[in-house]
Amino acid sequence: MLVTILLLGMAGPSQDDAKVDKWVRDATRKHPLIRIQAAKRVGRAGAKGLEAVQRFVAKEGRGKLSTPLVRALGDMGVPAARTFLRELVEDDQFTWRPQALTSLSEKPEADECDLFEKYLQHRSWLMRRAALTGTARLAGDEPKQVIAALGDRDLRVRVHAAALLLESGKTGGLAQLVHGLDAEEVFFRDDLGYRVRLAASKALTKWAGKDYGYSPRQTRSERTRAVQEFAARVRKATGVVVPRPAAAKRPGYVLGYERRSCRDGDLYLRVDDKGKLWRGLFDPVVVTVSANRLAMVRQNARAITTKRRHGRIECDFVNFAGLGTDGAASTRCAPGAIPEALSQLETLWQEAIKKGKQ
């Protein structure tokens, strides 16, 4: 009998284990639909799914996990999976920390309150947003920290805080949501305002019971009537008047540098056609820097010709815009895959912001 048990132990993974192991591998593939469907299977596998993820990590390392896999850990319904998620959140070298914190925040447990509070002031807006979700769902009738987040430095977090308040029946953030309907920010053809408009419209539509014909894809003029209708609905319900701010006058940007990082927070730098350096999104500020330094950045950018992508892009990447002789090219680079010419350009950008004053 003992020999039989030993032989079974040496036989390797069972057929069921092998099947779940394959799902885990599939959840790290390039094709997004394959990743998502496979990760859902892993999540539904519960403890078996967690064991398969742990075998994968033991072999490949945490860095090979995908967003869908991290999110699947929150669906497993086993305490050990939440423990593992907390470990991922606390690992400052792990790429998908915001996704791990988001997984915990969707069904937060009382003993995780301190964990969420710890990240309410994190430099990454994604971490702050995830921490807010968990905090809001544990706060009960006194969501003081969520109310405070209506003043966050990032519009995306402010709108999320307002949506969380409305979800709990509190209307103090309605003005933020109405303003979110008009969120405008484009980083060289990348419409970063779209998701803010979408989040604001979803929250307001659910609250009002109708969308008034609003679509986050509409132009400002096309959505005017719907925004006015939402503002009128807010005034009727709360007595609060929500004036519509004038459309922001955006400079004509000719150069751009974007560092997007789930771990370290984002950095957006742009140079306009007047030679001014701007930092940030939605509410960008001017950074005073010498004309010679910006001229070096522009000269180097114009001399670069490159392909549109370098390396496999996950959460973290660097985006260079305004490249080539006509300034029309751009490229995205994964960490560790930045060519030498672009690395030198990145250094010039970083020196410019380091020497600048805002």
Q: State the average pLDDT over residues 61-86.
A: 95
pLDDT above 60 for 11: no
pLDDT tens digits, one per residue of 106-139: 999 999 999 999 999 999 999 999 999 999 999 8
How confident is the model at residue 15, as a pLDDT? 61
| pLDDT at position 312 | 85
The confidence score (pLDDT) of residue 7 equals 41
Tokens matching residue 340:
């030498």
Identify the band that residue 296 occupies on the pLDDT scale cut at 50, 70 and 90: very high
Which of 9-13, 104-108, 337-341 bottoms out in mean pLDDT, i.e. has the lowest?
A: 9-13
| CA distances to 256, 258, 347 from 342, in Å | 13, 13, 9
Helix ranges, the chain (H) = 2-10, 15-26, 32-44, 47-60, 67-73, 79-90, 97-106, 113-118, 125-139, 144-148, 155-167, 174-180, 194-208, 224-238, 291-302, 340-355
pLDDT value of residue 16: 82
Q: What is the pLDDT, as a whole number, of residue 13?
A: 54
pLDDT tens-digit map of 245-267: 999 888 899 999 999 988 778 99
Q: Evaluate if residue 1 carries a pLDDT over 90.
A: no
Give the Cα separation of 290 and 292 in Å (integer): 5
Binning pLDDT at 50, 70 and 90, where does residue 206 land?
Answer: very high
pLDDT band at 4 (very low <50, low <70, confident <90, very high): very low
Q: List the domain boundaries for the chain.
A: 11-104, 117-249, 253-355
Residue 3 has pLDDT above 60, yes or no: no
Query: Count of CB atoms within 10 A of residue 200's CB?
Result: 26
Please state, for a pLDDT cut of 90, what percent of the chain lies above it: 84
Question: Of the given ranges (74-78, 245-249, 346-350), which has the lowest mean pLDDT?
Answer: 245-249
The secondary structure of 254-323 as a DSSP string is EEEEEEE-TTT--EEEEEETTS-EEESSSS-EEEB--HHHHHHHHHHHHT----SEES---S-EEEEEEE
Q: For residue 175, is pLDDT > 60?
A: yes
Please say whether the beta carbons of 314 and 334 come within 8 A: yes
* pLDDT reported for residue 6: 39
Could you read off the pLDDT of 145-163 as tens digits, one per residue?
999 999 999 999 999 999 9
